[in-house]
Amino acid sequence: MITPYFVTLQDRLFCAIVKSMVKTATALLLHLLTVEVDSEAIDVRDRGAVDLATFECRDINRSSIIQRVCYDRAQSNLIVSVRGLYDQYCNLPPVIFDGLMSAPSMGQFFNRNIRGSASGGAYDCWGDRIPKY
């Protein structure tokens, strides 16, 4: 089969639009890959501003109690957003964090295994346990 030498104006216009879109997408991707990422800081109850640079954070949409979880494996520190307020927990072993993330009910797991009473819970940050970020 012989391909016609001429191309319609509509074909030329379509090719020009596609080329323009590819150039724009490429430029956008290059920009996103070269932009410096600033770390995020949040306000933690009874602690003040905490820089999340060393934390791995996850937004939670399967819990009615917990909205966000940030964990620093190197320091074993957890920050949890419960109904919009951030609280911090210290010396939390990775196995407890992994249990929280895989629990059928994150709220129940959190209340039973992480959150202490009004004070003195196993993972409450106090005294020399307060991390220096």
Predicted confidence (pLDDT) per residue in 29-78, tens digit: 776 666 555 678 999 988 899 999 999 999 999 999 999 999 999 999 99
Contacts of 116 (CB under 8 A, 6+ apart): 122, 123, 124
**In this predicted structure, what is the pLDDT of residue 11?**
76
Rounded Cα distance, 126 and 131, in Å? 9
Q: Residue 103: name the closest of 71, 66, 56, 70 by CA.
A: 66
Residue with tokens 């966000």: 68
